[in-house]
Chains A and B, each alone.
Chain A
Amino acid sequence: MEKRTPPAPGIDETGFEALNNIPLGAFILREDLTIIFWNTCMELWTGTPRASIIGGKITLIYPHLANAKYQGRLEGVFISKTPAVFSSLLHKYFIPILQKNGEFRAQLTTVTPIINKDARTLALVTIQDVTELNDRLRAYRDMRDKAIKEVEERKRLEERLRYDATHDLLTNLLNHHNFVDALDSASHLAKRHSYPLSVCLWDVDFFKKVNDTYGHQIGDIVLVKFSEIIKGIIRHEDFAGRYGGEEFGVILQHTEIHGAVHCMERILEALRSTVFTSMDGVQFHVTATCGVVEVNAALNDPTELLRAADMAMYRGKESGRNRVVAYTPEP
């Protein structure tokens, strides 16, 4: 700055000249809050030359500083000699300086007491411009947040892929492969710890006819509804899977055959009372047939269990469908 300002009358300002060479905004206040020094950096930032601001009261030039949250703390600097810090997150600015984008520059301001040669307390205000620093920290934080979000998204996707690989996409039940796996370990555990376990196989009656009459879309709705009925009735520890096209399997843990038959009858009852509607608005009902078998000492191999359940289901089909049949060995 070429414009040199003479010292304010009565105040020895010469000692403050060094503050013109620091990369901080700096100014000095007397106890009555008049400005007695305004450094070159402040002149540059505010466009206000020293000559025109010295002798003025800071709270008149910048009225927001008359607010209790500033004035009270500035007074503290003079009265109890405690320094005061004003951070950029809690204060929009200490001295407002606009950027081209319409936002204020971020400032970190420190006010400390200094004693002049007449033993009077003055307040030295230094302002560090932290706009670029803050912008970079924010950009860094946003980048990190984005990276964290991406990792989470990938984890979610992997979980979804894992789920899709083990579940039937239409009904969300276990797929054939995983249902057989679940039966394998469940029957193994039941045998080792000798607790009852029942296996049930369902086949939707005349499903081909449903498809042919009302279309595949309606057929899919029937399968989804039936799987929802099954899931709604079995317990959390039980398993349900889509065994084939219109075939469903259920594994009931800790359940003897009578209990299993009773449970399957509730499922059948719920299916029977469900009203389906075709695309043309025709209402119809669907039934299904179920074969149930309980694991025992002689019968515990998964393949044999499924064959036995299938056999019981086949008997049910032969004797008129729409029923639950318990497996009995051939006489």
Chain B
Amino acid sequence: MPLTPPQLDALTELINIGLGRAAAILNEMATSHVKLVSPKIEVLSLESILMGKGRQLDASLSAVKMSFMGTMAGSAFLAFPPESALRLVSLLTGEDRDSPDLDSLKMETLNEVGNIVLNGVLGSIANALEGTMNYTIPSYQEGTLKALFIENVNEYDMVVLAVAEFSVEERNVHGDTLLILEPKSFRTLLTTIAPEG
């Protein structure tokens, strides 16, 4: 479903407001200054994703998932290539050790980062919808993008894919914020944020 320019603008603004809030919280916690923006937002169907549009499907990912129900239902992910996830955690904690794999200590930290970022984005959207929503606590998972989609996306779901660009101490770490919405929720979202669209 292609978005009209006003719809895309409104969605981009909502997501960036949420990311801005998340960055403000991360700044309170991290030793170095954190900036978080989304320069690019796309809306994709499951079909177009499985056809390989946008991202490499077989690349492995470290992801934090939160599901939500209520006015809008679906699930949200903050996903990184494992080495980016590791770098982000090292930058935020100031621990410069780079273990070759994500050990549990870092998974736990990434889970908190995901929690903050997804709370920001989902909170911003829920606020615009003026509805009530319930959320699951964040959980960490690893796997390919394909596995993640097959497990979490239904045939008619829409996927809002927002690049999440973290800048910490002049170093950039890129991740993806993924919002997987049931068709009804997606329509609700669009009509609420840009009724004229």
A residues touching B (Cβ–Cβ < 8 Å)? 67-69, 72-73, 76, 80-91, 108, 110, 112, 130, 133-134, 137-138, 140-141, 144-145
Contact = CB atoms under 8 A, between A and B. Distances in A.
Given A84-B115, A87-B112, A134 B29 contact: no
Q: Decide if the interface of chain B is mainly helix, strand, loop or mixed.
A: helix
Nearest to A79: B123
Given A69-B25, A69-B29, A85 B111 contact: yes
A95 to B, nearest CB: 17
Contacts of A145: 99
A80 B92 contact: no
Cβ-closest 6 pairs across A and B: A69-B28, A87-B112, A82-B119, A80-B123, A89-B109, A85-B115
Contacts of A82: 119, 122-123, 135
A80 B89 contact: no
Most buried by A among B89, B112, B115, B137: B112
Most buried by B among A80, A133, A134: A80
B103 interface: yes
Nearest to B126: A80
Contact of A89 (B89, B132, B138): B89
A68 B122 contact: no
Contacts of A108: 108
A73 B113 CA distance: 12
Interface residues of B, number: 33
A83 B123 contact: no
B154 interface: no
A85 B108 CA distance: 9
Interface string B116-134: 1001001100110000111
Contacts of B151: none
A73 B138 contact: no
B35 interface: no
A81 B104 contact: no
A83 B103 contact: no
B95 interface: yes
B34 to A, nearest CB: 12
A138 B103 CA distance: 9
Contacts of B99: 141, 144-145
Given A73-B25, A141-B103, A87 B109 contact: yes
A134 B109 CA distance: 12
A110 B106 CA distance: 16
Contacts of B25: 69, 72-73
Contacts of B92: 90
A88 B105 contact: yes
B4 interface: no
B105 A68 contact: no
B105 A80 contact: no
Contact of B28 (A67, A110, A130): A67
B182 to A, nearest CB: 19
A89 B106 contact: yes
A7 B66 CA distance: 34
Given A76-B123, A89-B89, A81 B108 contact: no
A136 to B, nearest CB: 10
A69 B132 CA distance: 24
A76 B89 CA distance: 23
B93 interface: yes
Given A80-B119, A84-B119, A89 B137 contact: no
Given A76-B119, A81-B132, A137-B104, A68 B127 contact: no
A58 B108 CA distance: 25
A130 B25 CA distance: 24
B7 to A, nearest CB: 23
Contacts of B116: 73
B108 A87 contact: yes
Contact of B105 (A85, A91, A137, A144): A137
Nearest to A140: B103
B109 A137 contact: no
A133 B103 CA distance: 12
B127 A89 contact: no
Nearest to A110: B137
B62 to A, nearest CB: 14
Contacts of A69: 25, 28-29
B74 to A, nearest CB: 15
15 contacts: A69-B25, A72-B28, A80-B126, A80-B133, A82-B135, A84-B115, A84-B119, A87-B108, A87-B109, A87-B111, A89-B106, A90-B92, A134-B105, A137-B103, A138-B105
B137 A112 contact: yes
A61 to B, nearest CB: 21
B112 A86 contact: yes
